[in-house]
A and B are shown apart, each in its own frame.
Chain A
Amino acid sequence: GNSVTQMEGPVTLSEEAFLTINCTYTATGYPSLFWYVQYPGEGLQLLLKATKADDKGSNKGFEATYRKETTSFHLEKGSVQVSDSAVYFCALSSYSSASKIIFGSGTRLSIRP
């Protein structure tokens, strides 16, 4: 079945450091790929998405590229801020599974000032 594997946390970085959170997936067909973020005390928010191979999703300085050849969707940001501290979830959905989203287990990111 479809699944998502992401880098385990917690990840602790200093402000302005470069961020990579790895994510790989297993799916039949051509899923859509997502990164969701959960800030402390808030609900789950869509951060970015990509719907086909080689698409790059971007938002708030974060980027992720849909790599079908490596079945990956790694999240990157060039210079993190304290306000980026949150839990990040990699996820996929496909019409073959009625668009239900399958999430990874989440990566907690903490940024030190």
Chain B
Amino acid sequence: GAGVSQSPRYKVAKRGQDVALRCDPISGHVSLFWYQQALGQGPEFLTYFQNEAQLDKSGLPSDRFFAERPEGSVSTLKIQRTQQEDSAVYLCASSTLAGGDDTQYFGPGTRLTVL
């Protein structure tokens, strides 16, 4: 079956531009997570949705970062007025929670480069 997909795979933005990154989770997966992976580092948690409810946004680094999942499926991570320090790979993951299985399945990521 189809895995988690993300688009675009690569994004180059000029400093100050707004960007929107899309995540399509595995069909039927209740939980959706966003992570940020800086070069040479492990991914770091940004935010978490259960269906359409954003239950944890403690990892968002600033108020320029905003995420939504209005219908409990596709999610968008928006970064306003991008800065060079926002350059990273943004990973999306989903999990089913069915039967207590909390395994997260990751998408390929969107590599954002801010010039």
Interface residues of A (CB under 8 A from B): 4, 32, 36, 42-46, 49, 89, 91, 93, 95, 98-106
Q: Identify the 7 closest CB pairs spanning chains A and B, nearest first.
A: A103-B42, A43-B108, A44-B106, A100-B45, A99-B102, A105-B42, A98-B56
- Give chain B nearest CB distance to A98 CB in angstroms: 5
Least distance between B23 CB and chain A CB atoms (Å)? 12
Q: Do A99 and B91 touch (CB < 8 A)?
A: no
Structural contact, A98 and B106, CB atoms closer than 8 A: no
Question: In the bound complex, do residue B45 and residue A49 qualify as a contact, i.e. CB atoms below 8 Å apart?
Answer: no
**Interface footprint category on B:** 20 to 34
CB distance from B6 to the nearest CB of A (A): 9
User: If the complex has contacts A43-B108, A98-B55, A99-B95, are A104 and B42 also in contact, measured as CB distance less than 8 A?
Assistant: yes
Decide yes or no whether B104 CB sits under 8 A from chain A: yes
Contacts of A93 on B, CB cut-off 8 Å? Answer: 102, 104
User: Are B105's CB and A42's CB within 8 A?
Assistant: no
